Structure 1
Amino acid sequence: MSGRSDIVAQARAWIGTPYHHRAARLGAGADCLGLIRGIWCAHYGTEPEPLPPYSPSWAEASGDEQLWQALARHLLPAPVAEDGQVLLFRLQSRALAKHLGIQCAGGARFIHACPRAGVVEAPLSAPWARRIVARFAFPSSL
């Protein structure tokens, strides 16, 4: 991968893509994981592993942190915030971490997919920022 700015540019190309659960097709439909999968495939060519079933609910309160574990298998932990990183959010205190976005604009904004809006760039406001539980970077090569 050539750099963080390429990740942000790729994510911005998805803006306007409608929301569709489990989808990852630029311009046709994506959920938040589909956005990350689409960026991955644009840079590495293929999916890193088969996609397990998952529900669209951000409020699931039980089970394993499957999304977090999958991210940790394929991406690099990122202790310092930088643009182009994958942000993992826990949207409710007792729920699983199930929302993703790409940090951009010097950490002031992020790109993500929402059910009503599709893929958008939005402010990384305090309510969003305090829900970040992990940051990951795409590997430079496979």
Structure 2
Amino acid sequence: MGAGYDAAERIVAEALGWVGTPYRHQGSRKGVGCDCLGLLLGVWRSVYGTVPEEPGPYAADWAEAGGEDRLLEAARRHCREKPAGTAAAGDLLLFRWRASLPAKHAAILIAPDRFVHAYEGSTVVVSPLVPQWRKRIAGVFAFPDISTPDRQG
């Protein structure tokens, strides 16, 4: 298979390596602490060598406060958007809690029915992609090929 397949395998393996990392708002260090965005940035850094952009400081309610869909917009800048029905292991999933709110939770799909994510009050965990999660998916994105980590869109 091509480089994209290799990227997906590496992303899944790296994401699984973060399981058990404590939750820490704005953190992005494996074994030390991360939030959902920090998990995504840490996995990206490990697979590609650097992150595509730094988010800067953000409050826990950042998505509601600004009204912008910053997470979804950033994913569109750096990854390839896919139809929800084509999600595959190694893809980035973004969730919104209600249809009227911006996306504010990120996860990495590791199997058709399981994903890795970090959330407050827990550690990085593997969760089942049950209907309650599926209905909140705001976007599905393929990470860039390893051969072109700086590729836009």
Q: What does residue range 1-142 of structure 1 map to in structure 2 within 5 Å? A: 2-57=6-61, 60=64, 63-79=67-83, 80-105=86-111, 107-140=112-145, 141-142=148-149
The answer on whether the counterparts of 1:12 and 1:111 sit within 8 Å (CA) in structure 2 is yes
CA deviations on 1:105-134 (whole Å, 9 max, x unpaired) are 2x1111000111120001111000110010
Task: Give the Cα–Cα distance (whole angstroms) in 2 for the partners of residues 91 and 126 of structure 1.
Answer: 13
Contact kept? 1:31, 1:113, Cα under 8 Å: yes
Say how many residue pairs are matched: 141
C-alpha distance 58-49 of structure 1, shift in aligned 2 (>3 A)? closer
> Could you tell me how far apart the structure 1 residues matched to 2:10 and 2:138 are?
24
Q: Secondary structure at the match of 2:37?
A: helix
Residue identity over aligned pairs, in percent, reads: 45
TM-score, length of structure 2 as denominator length: 0.85
Higher share of residues assigned helix: 2
Cα displacement string for residues 2-52 of structure 1 (whole angstroms, at most 9, x for unaligned residues): 232221111000000000011100000000001110111011111212223
Contact 1:58 1:96 in 2 (8 A): no
Q: For structure 2, which runs of at least 5 residues remain unmatched after alignment?
A: none
- The residue matched to 1:3 in structure 2 has which SS? helix
**1:40–1:47: 8 Å Cα contact kept in structure 2?**
yes
Q: Secondary structure at the match of 2:67?
A: coil
User: What amino acid does structure 2 have at the position aligned with 1:125?
Assistant: V
Q: Which runs of 4+ in 1 moved over 4 A?
A: none
CA drift at 1:59 = 7.2
**More deviation, 9-18/94-103:** 94-103
Q: Which runs of 5+ in 1 are unaligned?
A: none
CA contact (8 A) 1:61 1:94 kept: no
